[in-house]
Amino acid sequence: MSEPAEAPDTERPGVPGPESRPTARGTTPEPPVAPRRAHVRTCFGEEVPDDLFWMVEHDDAELRAVLDAENAYADAVLAPLADLRERIFAEIKARTQETDLSVPYRKGAWWYYSRTEEGRAYPIHCRRPDDGTCLHPDDAADAEQVLLDENVLAEGHGYLSLGVADVAPDGRRLAYSVDVAGDERHVLHVRDLDTGADLAEAIPDTSYGFAWAADSRTCFYVTVDDAERPWRIHRHVTGVDPPDGSGDALVHQEDDARFFASVGASRSGDLVAITLGSRVSTEVHLIDAHDPTAPARVVEPRRDDHEYSVAHSGDHLFVLSNDGAPDFALWRAPLASPGQASWQPVLPAADGVRYDAVEAFAGHLVVHVRRDAATGLHLHDIASGAGRDLDFDEEVRTVGASVNEEFDTTRYRFSYTSLTTPAQVWEEDVATGERALLKEQPVLGDFDRTRYESTRTWARAADGVDVPVSIVRRRDVPVDGTAPCLLYGYGAYEMSMDPWFSVARLSLLDRGVVFAVAHVRGGGELGRRWYEGGRLTSKPNSFSDLVAVAEHLVQGGWAAPDRLAVMGGSAGGLLVGAALNLAPERFRVALAEVPFVDALNTILDPSLPLTVTEWEEWGNPVDDEAVYRTMRSYAPYENIRPGARYPAILATAGLNDPRVGVHEPAKWVQRLREVVEPGPDRPVLLRTEMGAGHGGPSGRYDAWRHVALLWAFLLDQLGAA
């Protein structure tokens, strides 16, 4: 959390700031009121006035004044919680091993790892030579080479995020890109690892994708267009091409605004893959990494609603495709003729099984699967075709890939966590099944996982569908309808909110708060049908699912009826906002982080960042009246219920956010205060990070302070402080 903004000019017309007097619970200063400017939206014969529409102009000086006033108002209202906030921050800090080390992994002739140091906000990326053993880096401190110290990069900046950090195949260069504004436009640099000095490269407006060619001098990167869409793939030769990228070869330009472009290298090191993807369609092009100027070859031309991904091993590609298999099937294709006509089945589609991803190694595959809303891993031997599932004890869990840079290996590293188990890194011998725990996230203090219990339950939705719910609580918190509870949800883009451990969450659990995750439709927890059930004109199912889960928690005794909170971010903020309009009286407090709450106005404007790419998720309300009417019925900003008693609300925003414009939460809180039943015990607050974007503060200490602010507001409103 950044330092409180200075109070705005209280004489600015239409933007009064809060009174400069002490604030106590139950007495609040007057909230800021934004200027109103006449505007009417006309669509499909409907005229909708919106006198806050002007806020979409982010360069407007009056918008900055409103945001400053909102920050000052929020600071004043939250001032009495300063001690609680500091206690929670101290708890998070005390439970975290600040000086820590990641599990080293081998790539080429080196072991790579990152470490953190007490008092420093960002990680330090290092390596040491491979001497034939995997010694603890402390045992070979003299051999350590610091590749990149993010603390140094952050000097002089209030924000820092790495987009790319990729060592060349010969180990002599590091490509890295930085964003110091939060707008996700990175500058790409190249560092000479022999000298530690940066080369002249400084290529602006780059996105996240990157790949080195086999010569360790040629690289491929992605740039974004004016709408923040990754759309061009460029080829650059370090030390030869102009260092600002102005002379770089254009390898691909994606003119279909629905598609994002990305690039990456295969684990084998033999291929560079360009992936062009919309929400529901994919096209992959391959370049020989040993001949980087050769033209790219398409694997299978794009067609609507066909998604696929590829992994390379030897003379073949392994392809996950949803053609004729909504939850995907696995195929094998010769590299020489990779089109679908040559595909041969490896793992057919199976009822109740979703194939999420495939990783290829020299002799085996690792397939990421999902059954009954739980993640898993399946090992497949390429030569024999034999396979087995990895076994895990906990039902409410999350397993996934760890760092596996080596291609020719018989060992696989995976991550494991649950609502009660700190993040772990395991390594399994794929031939013998022998498994070793390499690291578990340290949790300091008196943490004992046996004090906590996780549960999977199912809530019955309004249309009879059962919605999975993951719950964690202290074992000594009774399930008798008296406990405070925080309900979390997302439900969009087929993303799954799989269970995860959180050190910061312990500050809630140890105060008796039950934490629940609603796996509503629109996510991917139960396969493609679950996503389709909360997408396009079926999107309202996501919101009614969340309300059904809230009712289920109360009826099941997990939550007190008057002590239930709800939380979501981005598209999860849309979920929260729409659920509040459906059942404002059900929730006592809401946390909405960078919430997508002015959804209809945004999706109606193709000039805004990312709008056209979003049409396959929400529908196109510009041309389709059914989509317009559906979005009109649920857009949170447009459906606030006048006079209803809404919960206390704390919304957050980022001034430089390229994904959810800062105007969306700013408009929402202004309209909420205007039309809902007022109450000093239920404030509506907006806190904007003036130097950050979608992800909030970047350094770990600022991030902890941000969480501490949210938790303090939540606990105070729930009477659990």
* Six-digit token string for 103: 């599990």
Beta bridge partners of 210: 221
Q: 579 to each of 120, 483, 537, 565, how far by Cα in Å?
A: 40, 21, 16, 12
The helix or strand, by DSSP H or E, that contains position 614, with its residue range, turns out to be helix 611-618
Structure tokens given for 134: 């995997």
Where residue 142 falls (left for φ over 0; alpha for ψ -120 to 50; beta otherwise) is alpha
Q: Choose the catalytic residue: 694, 702, 706, 716.
A: 694
CA atoms within 13 A on the CB side of 329: 16
Q: Is 198 a catalytic residue?
A: no
**SS3 (DSSP) at 668:** helix
CA atoms of 664 and 601, how far apart (whole Å): 9
Q: Tell me, what DSSP letter sits at residue 409?
A: -
Rounded to 10 degrees, the C-alpha dihedral 526/529/530/536 comes to: 160
Burial 206-222, CB ≥16 within 10 A → b, else e:
bbbbbbbbbeebbbbbb
657 catalytic, yes or no?
yes
- Give φ, ψ of 688 to 5 degrees: -105, 130
Q: Give CA separation, 633 vs 131, 627, 630, in Å.
A: 64, 10, 5
Catalytic residue among 356, 657, 702, 716: 657
Complete DSSP assignment for 19-41: PSS--BTTB-PPPP-------EE
Q: Rounded CA gap, 222 and 336, in Å?
A: 26
CA distances from 13 to 32, 36, 60, 68 (A): 11, 11, 14, 14
**Residue keyed to tokens 């001098």:** 217
Q: Reduced to 3 states, what is the DSSP secondary structure of residue 434?
A: coil
Main-chain dihedrals φ then ψ at residue 16, nearest 5 degrees: -70, 145
Rounded to the nearest 5°, which phi and psi values hold at 26?
Answer: 95, -15
* Residue 563 burial (CB count, 10 A): 23
> Burial letters for 573-605: b for 16+ Cβ neighbours within 10 Å, e otherwise?
bbbbbbbbbbbbebbbbbbbbbbbbbbbbbbbe
Question: Of 281, 321, 542, 570, which is the active-site residue?
Answer: 570
Interhelix angle 82-95/700-718, nearest 10 degrees: 130
Whole-angstrom Cα distance, residue 417 to residue 500? 6
Is 570 labeled as catalytic in the residue annotation?
A: yes
- For residue 237, the 8-state DSSP code is E
Q: How far apart are CA 565 and CA 685, in angstroms?
A: 15
**How many other CB atoms are there within 10 angstroms of residue 388's CB atom?**
12
Report how far apart, in Å, the C-alpha atoms of 539 and of each of 301, 520, 598, 615 are.
30, 10, 15, 13
* Token digits of residue 214: 């086999």
Q: Determine the 3-state secondary structure of 399 from DSSP.
A: strand
Question: 492 and 617 in contact (C-beta within 8 Å)?
Answer: yes
Helices and strands (H, E) in the chain, number of each type? 12, 38
Catalytic residues: 570, 657, 694
